[in-house]
Amino acid sequence: MKFPSTPLSLLSKLKHPDDSPMWQASWKRFLELYHEPITVVAMSCYRHHTGGQVPSPGFVEDAVANVIADFFSRSQHRYDPSKGRLRAYLRMLSNARVVDLLRKERPIDHRSLDEAGLSEAPEESDHERDAFQRSLLAMLIEDLRGQIPMRQFEIFERVKLKHQSPEYVAEDLAITRAMVDRYIYKAMTKLRELAQQPEYQQEMAD
Amino acid sequence: MDPISLLRREIPGDLTPEEEATLASALSAAYHMDETAATSRDVQRIAEKVRARLNALSEAPAHDSSSPDTP
């Protein structure tokens, strides 16, 4: 099933969710876009709560899966963009799920965990910031794909994202080099326009 | 240089060649991260776990905790 809407409208739609099958299926796409920053946060939370220990790959996978499932579960409180950034919500949710799994993982020496500090996620690292930034840029690119003509996106994708030379793309598509430049300029202009949307502005704010 | 702030700059012509390169590199990295995720076995494995948990959550009785996301 195709992703139900553009990522930009996904962020808006989170404010007014429905239970349509397409909405329910969108978690797969969300996982692809956000698995990296959630993984980084989960590992950071684990280290934070265990005095620097490193989680197993299985633990991290479980934590990421639980975050995504809870994010999309009907039984949970929904993310509300009016109350803060998606990024902050995902950090909070990731910390909560890591703590859940830690309690399951070590029920006997449960007391070795700093109970008072469990609700606090560690400070955001540069690594984490970079990962969230990549996810946001990927969402913008996805949005751009749905907002401009297919040919325009293809040229932008080949030159800007896949690093094919403009000359090669022009020759391959039997168009002039000037046309390639024009298409790329238009695509970049649209990308900047999308980045100015309030939903993105909120997520991108420093 | 932060690629997001470069993208939000109101006069794009102001970007230096170095800034242009930074932005292009960040966009490309984001694109490849997304492309890789679509076929990644790790992501597929996590997707199976998500599906299982979603099924478990849908079968469990709904709870009404005031702050379900807090440990």
Residue A167 counted as domain residue: yes
Q: A128 and A152 share a domain?
A: no
The minimal CB distance from B29 to the residues A66, A119, A134 is found for A134
Q: A92 and A47 share a domain?
A: yes
**Structural contact between residues A62 and B45, judged by C-beta atoms closer than 8 angstroms:** no
Q: A162 and A112 share a domain?
A: no
Residue A112 counted as domain residue: yes
Q: Is the pLDDT of residue A27 over 70?
A: yes
Per DSSP, B41 falls in state H
Residue A139 counted as domain residue: no
Of the two residues A51 and A204, the one the predictor is more confident about is A51
pTM: 0.83
Residue A138 counted as domain residue: no
Domain that holds residue A111: 1-132
**Structural contact between residues A117 and A49, judged by C-beta atoms closer than 8 angstroms:** yes
For residue range A45-90, list pLDDT tens digits in order: 999 998 899 999 999 999 999 999 888 876 556 677 777 888 888 9
Residue burial A167-190, b: 16+ Cβ < 10 Å; e: rest = eebbeeeeeeeeebeebbeebbeb
Residue A142 counted as domain residue: no
The minimal CB distance from A161 to the residues B3, B28, B43 is found for B28
* pLDDT score at A172: 97
Give A119 to chain B, closest Cα distance, Å: 6
- Number of domains present in the structure of chain A: 2
Residue A81 counted as domain residue: yes
C-alpha span between A75 and B62 (Å, rounded)? 5
Residue A4's pLDDT band, with cuts at 50, 70 and 90, is very low
Q: Is the ipTM of this complex over 0.85?
A: no
Here the CATH number for the domain that contains residue A184 is: 1.10.10
